[in-house]
Amino acid sequence: MCIEQYGFFRAAGASLPLRVADPAFNAEAIVDAMREAEERGARLLALPELCVTGYTCADLFHQEVLLRGALDALGTVLAQTRTLSLAAVIGLPLAIENRLFNCAAVIQKGRVLGVVPKTFLPGYGEFYEERWFSPGTALTANTITLNGQDVPIGTKLLFQSDTKKSIVFAVELCEDLWAPAPPSVDLARAGAVLLCNLSASNDLVSKHTYRRDLVRGQSGRLAAGYVYAGAGVGESTTDLVFGGAVLIAENGAILAEGARFSRTRELVIQDIDIDRLVNTRLRLSPFMEGFVREGFRTITFEMSNISRNAKHPNAALCRFVDPHPFVPADPKERDERCEEIFAIQSAGLAGRVERSGSGAAVLGLSGGLDSTLALLVTVKTFDLLGLPREKITALSMPGYGTTSLTRANAAALAKGFKVTFREVDIRAACERHFADLGRSGAQHDTVYENAQARLRTLLLMDTANETGGLVVGTGDLSELALGWCTYNGDHISMYAVNAGVPKTLVKYLVAWAASREADAASREALRSVLETPISPELLPPDAAGNITQKTEEILGPYEVHDFFLYHFFRYGAPPEKLLFLAREAFRGLPSKDAPYTAAQLSRWLDIFVKRFFAAQFKRSCIPDGPKVGAVSLSPRGDWRMPSDAAPAGWGHQKFGLYTSK
């Protein structure tokens, strides 16, 4: 196994210990960095701007001794790395057509594959590059001779893998990124999914924050990987200090960064998800709008020599895979996310209440997570609109599976939040319904379960008519994905406030509200809800009155299904990659009793795919509800899919439609 088969590409950036105007010394530092990167499984290494000579050589750039030394150093690097398989991008000055250019040379296996000159030269503040160099746009040559070979040169060079055509990288240099129209924009639109920036940006107070945001933002705008390698403390400190910033970003997120001001080599390695980036671009319709692919040249670099040995350094993924992609790990960020989601949900419901002219709301309050969140949102909405909470009717409808715990939770929540509370036991009505069907309630089958859900919906709708209110839906995004709702039962409402919230996030939203939005009595009820097993409570409890129908024992953990949903929906990950990512994410991460095994993850993925395809007919007619995050299954918004699509390509041949929980 190697990471490339799952669409990953290992890239590296480094800052080097170097000596200004000593190309021979710097050549050895470059070779050492390349060898270490190779040993750690990297396929590409980006090094700092003008790292062969040092960026701060100033007027020495006009000395033949330095320029000749740079060429000799390049020859040394090529000779000493001809047995290495990784490609590297190194910075050096080159005299071409009676001009001097600040260049990046892409090398592999003792050969120069191509040379990219810097496009934008800073000539302001502390920078004087225009004194020594010419911009890449002034170059007329298409090839130059280096180390005895003809080499392509230009600002529109793309470097493509010989084994996987989607792996394409390109190069820009330092100021190019800071310009209003960076070269990386057109390079990305021409096909580059990975961008290398050879830089010599000095450090000032707060500058790194801006530099970091530039790298992160450019990777996000271009749906690309971005490797930034900055010059370090070996540069001259006559007037400036260089910190050696090394950053690796992907699609708007910083994946890894090195320590600044290090006096030794700082090598940062990260696995870039190429397939994810390609899939993201396919979804971005404006990405290629108005672009004319003219003048770009493609150069092949080798990847066919990648080892398939399980002991090879890139047999294991070196990046962090978040097991809970919907839930920020940082508590501060998580709190901000919860506050924003509540604001979106309540704003959506407020708009619906105002425009309908209803001024009242009805919801089923089971004492479980989803209905609790719906109650919290509804209360917040009515407070926002200045409407009395008494206009909210919380309807508890105990049935065959309702336990005393959830029944008590529902009553306590309604009392704590001062909403109108009604309880209607549905068992007698169900018995009459079963009698009409000529059956007994002893058959605990699909009819037994779904009759309860549909009768509850009937009661909610009629109560809404009676009070002039809206039925607020309680079902969440995860249930929609898995079809874990009864068609024309809890599947239906007048506005579904939780439709965009995955189950893993529902828990945090309720916990957040418990710490901020409730009094002491209500907080106790909310904590009880959080500790209660997730269940539709449609089957009778055990002899001790405990819940027997536990959703996660039937379907598998929601944290795993939410993980599958995120990567399936956002990036179109195929089943083999979903399993690979899940193994990486949940490796060593304990569930309640023990870590998840590969066999368990495989079984749960089977359930996810089967149910996701079978449940599309339910999603095709879901009620309105606010989109709150990047994943939405609304047929009017982000997800359009035929209800009878075949899941064979996802590893399943045939199965029946699921119409029950």
For residue 161, the surrounding DSSP H or E stretch is strand 157-161
- Catalytic residue (choose from 49, 172, 479, 537): 49
Enter the DSSP assignment of 635. T
For residue 405, the surrounding DSSP H or E stretch is helix 404-416
Q: Which two tokens stand for residue 632?
A: 């939405």
Calculate Rg over the CA atoms of the chain.
30
| DSSP bridge pairs for 297 | 157
Q: Which two tokens stand for residue 152?
A: 């392509």
Asked if 49 is an active-site residue, the reply is yes
Asked if 485 is an active-site residue, the reply is no
Asked if 174 is an active-site residue, the reply is yes
Q: Give φ, ψ of 406 to 5 degrees.
A: -70, -30
Largest CA distance in the chain: 101
**Residue type for position 48:** P
**Closest by CA position to 81, among listed 22, 115, 32:** 32
Check: CB of residue 219 under 8 Å from CB of residue 209: no
Q: Which two tokens stand for residue 481?
A: 């994905």
- CA–CA distance from 60 to each of 54, 68, 139, 241 (Å)? 11, 12, 22, 19
Beta strands 470-473 and 361-364 are: parallel
DSSP string across 436-447: HTT--TT--SHH
Q: Which two tokens stand for residue 257?
A: 């960064």
Long-range contacts, 540-543 (Cβ 8 Å, 24+): 540/400, 540/401, 540/444, 541/401, 541/403
Q: How many CB atoms lie within 10 A of CB 294?
A: 8
Enter the DSSP assignment of 243. -
Chain-centroid distance of CA 203 in Å reads 30
- CA–CA distance from 611 to each of 445, 481, 485, 555 (Å)? 18, 8, 11, 10
Q: Which two tokens stand for residue 120?
A: 């934008």
SS3 14: strand
**Could you tell me which residues come within 8 angstroms of residue 110 by beta carbon, excluding any fewer than 6 positions away?**
78, 79, 81, 82
Characterise 407 by phi-psi region: left (phi > 0), alpha (psi -120 to 50), beta (else).
alpha
Check: CB of residue 472 under 8 Å from CB of residue 456: no
Q: 3-state SS string over 516-568?
A: HCCCHHHHHHHHHHHHCCCCCCCCCCCCCCCCCCCHHHHHCCHHHHHHHHHHH
- Catalytic residue (choose from 2, 51, 57, 174): 174
Angle formed by the axes of helices 404-416 and 520-531, to 10°?
150
* 39 vs 584: CA distance, rounded Å: 22
- Catalytic residue (choose from 38, 51, 57, 118): 118
Chain-centroid distance of CA 485 in Å reads 27
Check: CB of residue 61 under 8 Å from CB of residue 95: no
Enter the DSSP assignment of 428. H
Q: Give φ, ψ of 429 to 5 degrees.
A: -65, -35
Burial class (CB in 10 A: 0-12, 13-18, 19+), 232: buried
Active-site amino acid positions? 49, 118, 174
